[in-house]
Every structure is written in structure tokens, then in C-alpha cells.
Amino acid sequence: MEALMTKPALKTDTLTVRTAHEKAEIDNLRHILNEHHYLKAGRPAGHTLWQGIYRTDSETGYPELVAVLCWGGAAKSLKERDTHIGWDAVTCANRLKLIVGLRRFYVIDSARRPNLASQCLALALRTLAEEFQKIRSQPPRAPRPFAPRPPSRHRGRRHRRSPKCPQVQ
């Protein structure tokens, strides 16, 4: 794990968000989703951004992965979204690249505690605009961390609204 932590990261309290850039780190995050997430990691399509949320273990001092997030391009056609925003077909085609969707979000079972998922999502959103701007020419304007209804065995809660993503001018 130490070899994967080579780039700088954003820290808050005991949580650290790291954007995975190297193949080994991305493969590790994909493996965790394939093993534990009910939808698996999925196929990569378009621009994809992988983030790992780490907590420093107080006993060993090593980072411990507590959550995995995978961001990707927005769905091409969502009638409710396009109607709500007020986009016609041409405007939608031109601006769709500005919307980022949260494709997968998984909190490691052994790391679960109250409010951890919200803290991880908020921390990831703080770095999202800057990180996505590195792989696209423009920052995202509307991150959408919504997911399909999980199966009945899923005990977690769905986030109905997300924290605001900082607008990059």
C-alpha cells in the first residue's frame, strides 16, 4: 500500500482522498469493487476518475482504505434531468460533457461507522473539480452522486442530495 501512496493528497482530520493515476492503484480499487460492490466495477467508458479515501491507522501509522469512488461521464439521455435543467437536444449535446456522475461508491464493511459515507463523499467532492479538469479541458459544473436503487439486501442509505460542488471559474 505504501508504494501506491506516492502523490500528494488532501487531508481532513483522519481521512485522506487520493485520486488514482497509476494502473496498479486503479486496478486495486477496481478489484475491491469487483469483490464487494453489488454492481461490480463495471466497464470503463469515457473519462473515468478513481478516488480512494484512506484513514491512517493509529497503531501502525499506515493508510487504510475505507472507501472507493468512481466518477464518470454523465448518461447521454435522462429525460428528467434534461427537463429539469431546461435543455433541448442541441444544448444537451453541447453541455453534457460538463456533468459528472458518480458511477460507484463503496465504503469498506470493516471500516463502517456513523457518517463515514457522508464524510467521504464531501471530501471527494472538494477535489473533484480540480481533478476532472486535469483529464478534461473544463471542470465539471454539476456532479451527480445518484445511484440506482440498491437491492433489498443493501442496508445503507441513499444520498438524495449531494453537497454543492465548488464552481471553478
* Domain at 109, CATH number: 3.40.630
Closest to 33 measured CA to CA, from 24, 42, 25: 42
The alpha carbon of residue 98 and the mean position of all alpha carbons in its chain are separated, in whole angstroms, by 16
Residue 152 lies in a domain: no
Q: What is the pLDDT of residue 43?
A: 81
Domain that holds residue 40: 2-144
- Tens of pLDDT along the chain (169 residues) come to 444 444 455 554 589 999 999 999 999 999 999 999 988 888 877 778 899 999 987 777 888 999 999 998 877 777 787 777 787 888 888 888 778 888 899 999 999 989 999 999 999 998 888 888 887 766 666 555 444 445 555 555 554 444 444 443 3
Count up the domains in the chain and report the number. Answer: 1
* Consecutive H or E run containing 54: strand 48-56
Strand order in the sheet with 63-73: 10-12, 15-20, 48-56, 63-73, 99-107, 142-144
pTM of the model: 0.71
Find out whether 165 and 143 touch, Cβ atoms under 8 Å: yes
Is residue 127 a part of any domain in this protein? Answer: yes
pLDDT of res. 159: 46
pLDDT, position 161: 46
List b or e across 148-165, with b for residues whose CB sees 16 or more CB atoms inside 10 angstroms. Answer: eeeeeeeeeeeeeebeeb
Judge whether 150 lies within some domain.
no
